[in-house]
Structure 1
Amino acid sequence: MSQATPATRALTAAGIAFTVHRYEYDPGAERVGLQAAEALGEAPHRVLKTLMALVDGKPVCAIVPSDHEVAMKKLAAAFRGKSAEMMKPAEAERLTGYKVGGISPFGQRRAVPTAIEQSALQEDLVYVNGGQRGLQIRLDPGAIPARFGAVAAPLVA
């Protein structure tokens, strides 16, 4: 598995410090983010999952702790929309250029508006997907809104 992905290249280009962490990806895991947290020996709220959704029919990216579910009304509100729904996996893969289970919020094929759960910004370091299944990136969560224009908002139920 290569450490060089569109996500790591985007972070490097943005001048963001990060470390790469590999783990044994389980394709049969019921909740990939929780499986990643367990494999890394990290608290689930520090391992963030990347979700692709539609707000009023337009694609968006949500970054939330792996031990929480996104609240669709809150997600819609974060983007000043009326309704939100999860994107179909095939559509998410086509839009981002990543496989489900390996979708990173960084280096996506097409940039889309992004929101991060505001509580994640209270952590010193968090993990996000690095663009491959079994590859996580550890970084300062404050870099996500600061360098990538993500909005911080309450997103979880």
Structure 2
Amino acid sequence: MAKKKTKKGGASTPATVQLDEAGVPFTLYEYHHSGDHMDEGYGKEAAEQLGKDERQVCKTLLVSTEHGLVTGVVPVNGHMSMKGIAQAVGEKKAEMAEPKDAMRETGYVVGGISPLGQRTKHRTVIDESVMAFDEVLVSGGKRGLSLGVNPHDLVKVLNAVVAPIATDKKSY
């Protein structure tokens, strides 16, 4: 059973700390993570358990470019375009970062990587489609924890670029 909490109670992670320090309101959404390997994705599990539209629940993916890692935030109902994220940050190409590199750089485990509170700050690109919602959900920094936040606040806190980086084609 999913639990919705206001920001005054519940889990504290580097992601929630960053939002608190920025004075950004958010909602904690906790749900039971099955613990299984997620063929369909951790974000789809969150959307299902929380009863949220998959277009407003986001996954956080790290890509490697010639000039370092970049964080991409896309809805869980789609995939991230490597060409799109590379173009958004002025790079020639991008490829998925190795999971071990993503975990080391962010301080989070795969399936719980948040765009917020990462150990090392990275350029961040958020897919333009999520800007249509009043609230989007991103990982709260661990499996089974999502944060509901206004996408405009997310862009501001992360100093993110908004661009068309989601695709329905199988990629990431």
What pairs with 1:106-117 in structure 2 (closer than 5 Å)?
106-117=116-127
Q: Could you tell me whether the CA contact under 8 Å between 2:19 and 2:157 is conserved in 1?
A: no
The structure with more strand, counted as a fraction of residues: 2
The separation in 2 between residues aligned to 1:25 and 1:60, in whole angstroms, is 26
Question: Which 10-residue stretch deviates more, 26-35 or 62-71?
Answer: 26-35
> TM-score when scaled to structure 1?
0.96
| Per-residue CA distance 1:56-107 (angstroms, 9 max, x = gap) | 2510100000011001100100100000000111110000000001100010
The separation in 2 between residues aligned to 1:28 and 1:91, in whole angstroms, is 19
1:103 aligns with 2:113: yes
Question: Which 10-residue stretch deviates more, 52-61 or 102-111?
Answer: 52-61
Tell me which amino acid in the other structure corresponds to 1:93.
Answer: M
| Per-residue CA distance 1:7-43 (angstroms, 9 max, x = gap) | 0000000110001010111332211111110011111
Question: What SS is found at the alignment partner of 1:124?
Answer: coil
Query: Which of residues 9, 18, 23 in structure 2 aligns to 1:10?
Result: 18
The separation in 1 between residues aligned to 2:70 and 2:92, in whole angstroms, is 14
Aligned to 1:28: 37
Question: What SS is found at the alignment partner of 1:107?
Answer: coil
Aligned to 2:57: 47
1:151 aligns with 2:151: no
Question: What SS is found at the alignment partner of 1:131?
Answer: strand
Q: Could you tell me whether the CA contact under 8 Å between 1:72 and 1:85 is conserved in 2?
A: yes
Q: Could you tell me whether the CA contact under 8 Å between 1:55 and 1:79 is conserved in 2?
A: no
Q: Identity across aligned pairs (percent)?
A: 40
The two structures, once aligned, show a CA RMSD in angstroms of 1.0
Tell me which amino acid in the other structure corresponds to 2:115.
Answer: P
Query: Which of residues 70, 78, 90 in structure 1 aligns to 2:100?
Result: 90
> TM-score when scaled to structure 2?
0.88
The separation in 2 between residues aligned to 1:3 and 1:69, in whole angstroms, is 29
Structure 2 gap ranges (5+): 1-9, 168-172
Aligned to 1:60: 70
The separation in 2 between residues aligned to 1:4 and 1:146, in whole angstroms, is 21
User: How many residues are matched?
Assistant: 156
